[in-house]
Amino acid sequence: MKGEIFFLILLPLCIERSISSTNINSPNKGGNDDLSQSNHTSHNATQKENISYEAQQQPTISNVIKKMTDFELSLYRTIAKKHDENIIICPFGIFFTFASLMMGTKGSTYREILQALNLHLFNTTDKPHALPSIFRMLQDSITKNEDLVLEQGSVSFVHEDFPVKDSFLNVSLQYFDMEFSNLDFQNSPKAKEVINNYIKNKTKGMIPKLFDEIDPQTKFILANYILFNGKWIYPFNPAFTELDTFYISKYSNVKVPMMFKTDKISSIFDKNLRCWVVKLPYRGNASMMVIMPQENDLASIEDHLSTELIDEWLANMKLSKMDVYFPKFKLDQKYKMKKCLQDLGIKEIFSGKGNLSGLTDERNLRLSQVTQRVMIEVDEKGTEAVAVTGAEITAYSMPDTFRADHPFIFIITEDPSKTLLFIGRINDPTKP
């Protein structure tokens, strides 16, 4: 993989063995919530009069993107607090995978997911298909961008005699383009081989062996993958790449291949948070935003990251000629996200007590894990053959310098829709 960015998410549903068959799934109080009739909105006179509040409750694509971004940043923060290493996640993928699984849930299980995804404040009374249609539009706006997305898909592997409801099949096809494939999970070596081959094929060999083992109790696995084309519009010139020092902390540093280019770059210095924010454009109307504190203090930036802050940076950026030094790096990370998602409030579905009656009439199902694998490689490559861009430096416009030589955060967004696709942190560019 050269300059490509990839993610895969897996949600396996297993039969819960440890729960006795009595007293499960006590009926949920007050929950009549086919698709999306969340009722979290408090009705009171103050709010009814607040026009802008009402406007924000409309499930429009831009409102949903804002709420999704809030979810994505929360997920990143939850993970960032548990690790102090490099991070790369695709919270967008988690959002959509859960949005599709949510269609198989009802009652309080549905509401938990809706709320964790930050969608509970939308007024979808009278419009049960409003959210799924927006998921569809959002997905399309990204996946139909052929300059950006090379390969993507959703697939559910279903155990042979596991009854999946028609309504779930229909919604999954209509709004999530999901493929369905039947398997005998009880023959787990064979099931493993089928899934591994499927994923290997779909990911162009990038993930040759996904599972070492599959639980024979598995009934259903939902998988979601996307392969992005992470190519700079303006490449770095490999001839300028040199080994240079990257300061991991006050006390330790490493040598990294540091790329260089002079280019017109959008940037801003945030005086409050004392950090540089620069935007490096990718082809396909996407870009990588790099956020680097003056000193090594990523944690305080992580605490402040919000949709509003990012919008403010973007709105105030200035285009100017800059010398950019940026390390080459390659990350390949695998996260088990169950704990983080539970921290964000998604609990019942992991417990064996979840209400999955939109998916099936079988009981005692639990989501056993949520695994995300993400790979990214950042190198000099761009769309044009090696070219030195914007290098005519004139005497009176001395370029500023942006040197990413200590830990930073990066965010990859699809720009027209402002959809946050990936977010990560580089602590040590020499580590995978």
CA nearest neighbour of 16 among 358, 369, 351: 351
What tokens appear for 277 in the block? Answer: 């924010």
Q: Does 296 bind ligand NAG (CB under 6 A)?
A: no
Residue carrying structure tokens 């044009």: 384
Min dist. Cβ of residue 198 to ligand NAG (A):
7
Q: According to the binding rule CB under 6 A, does residue 115 interact with ligand NAG?
A: no
If one asks whether residue 41 binds ligand NAG (CB under 6 A), the answer comes out as: yes
CB atoms within 10 A of CB 372: 23
Least distance CB 369 / ligand NAG (angstroms): 22
Asked if 256 contacts 246 with a C-beta cutoff of 8 angstroms, the reply is yes
Do residues 34 and 168 touch, judged by C-beta distance below 8 A? no
User: Using CB under 6 A, which of 18, 21, 23, 166 touches ligand NAG?
Assistant: 166
Q: How many CA atoms lie within 13 A of 65 on its CB side?
A: 20
Using the minimum distance from each CB to ligand NAG, give the nearer residue, 262 or 355.
355
What's the one-letter identity of residue 278?
V
360-399 footprint of ligand NAG as x/- string (CB under 6 A): ----------------------------------------
Asked if 91 touches ligand NAG (CB under 6 A), the answer is no
Q: Residue 28 interacts with ligand NAG (CB under 6 A)?
A: yes
Question: Contact letters (x/-) for ligand NAG, 131-150, by CB under 6 A?
Answer: --------------x-x---
* Structure tokens given for 420: 């946050």
- The 10 Å Cβ neighbour count of residue 217 is 17
* Options 123, 217, 369, 383; binder of ligand NAG; rule CB under 6 A: 123
- What is the rounded end-to-end Cα distance, in angstroms, of the chain? 14
Closest by CA position to 336, among listed 289, 364, 384, 372: 372
Please report how close the Cβ of residue 356 comes to ligand NAG at its closest, in angstroms: 8
CA dist., res. 230 & res. 341, Å (int)? 28
Judged by CB under 6 A, the residue of 126, 212, 213, 295 near ligand NAG is 126
Sole binder of ligand NAG in the list 20, 21, 44, 272 (CB under 6 A): 44
Q: What is the DSSP letter of 13?
A: E
Minimum CB separation from ligand NAG for residue 129, in Å?
12
Q: Give 91-137 as a DSSP string.
A: HHHHHHHHHHHHTT--HHHHHHHHHHTT-TTS--TT-TTHHHHHHHH
Q: How far is the CB of 358 from ligand NAG (least distance, A)?
A: 8
Binding segment toward ligand NAG, per CB under 6 A, in 164-172, 181-189, 309-317, 401-409: 164-172
Kindly state whether residue 284 participates in binding ligand NAG, applying the rule CB under 6 A. yes
308 contacts ligand NAG (rule: CB under 6 A): no
Going residue by residue from 199 to 228, which x/- string records binding to ligand NAG, judged by CB under 6 A? --x---------------------------
SS3 289: strand
Of the candidate spans 27-35, 67-75, 90-98, 365-373, the one that interacts with ligand NAG by CB under 6 A turns out to be 27-35
Is position 161 an interface residue for ligand NAG (rule: CB under 6 A)? no
- 291: which 2 tokens? 């956020």
Query: In angstroms, what is the minimal distance from the CB of 115 to ligand NAG?
Result: 14
For CA atoms 346, 351, 357, 360, the dihedral sign is positive
Residues in binding contact with ligand NAG, number by CB under 6 A: 33
Selected binder of ligand NAG within 97, 139, 333, 357 (CB under 6 A): 357
Query: Do residues 370 and 94 touch, judged by C-beta distance below 8 A?
Result: yes
Q: Is 188 in the site for ligand NAG (CB under 6 A)?
A: no
Among positions 20, 46, 252, 394, the unique one binding ligand NAG when judged by CB under 6 A: 46
Would you count residue 170 as binding ligand NAG (CB under 6 A)?
Answer: yes
Helix (H, G, I), strand (E, B) or coil at 409: strand
Identify each DSSP E strand in 201-247 by its residue range. Answer: 218-229, 242-247
Q: Residue 366 is which amino acid?
A: R
Show the DSSP H helices in 122-219 as ranges: 130-143, 166-176, 188-202
Query: Which range binds ligand NAG by CB under 6 A, 47-55, 186-194, 232-240, 291-299?
Result: 47-55
When asked if residue 416 is in the footprint of ligand NAG (CB under 6 A), the reply is: yes
* Structure tokens given for 226: 């996307």
Among 1, 25, 240, 317, binds ligand NAG (CB under 6 A): 25
> 162 Cβ partners below 8 Å, 6+ apart?
219, 220, 360, 362
Under the rule (CB under 6 A), what is the footprint of ligand NAG? 25, 27-28, 30-32, 39, 41-44, 46-47, 50, 52-53, 57, 106-107, 123, 125-126, 145, 147, 166-167, 170, 201, 284-285, 355, 357, 416
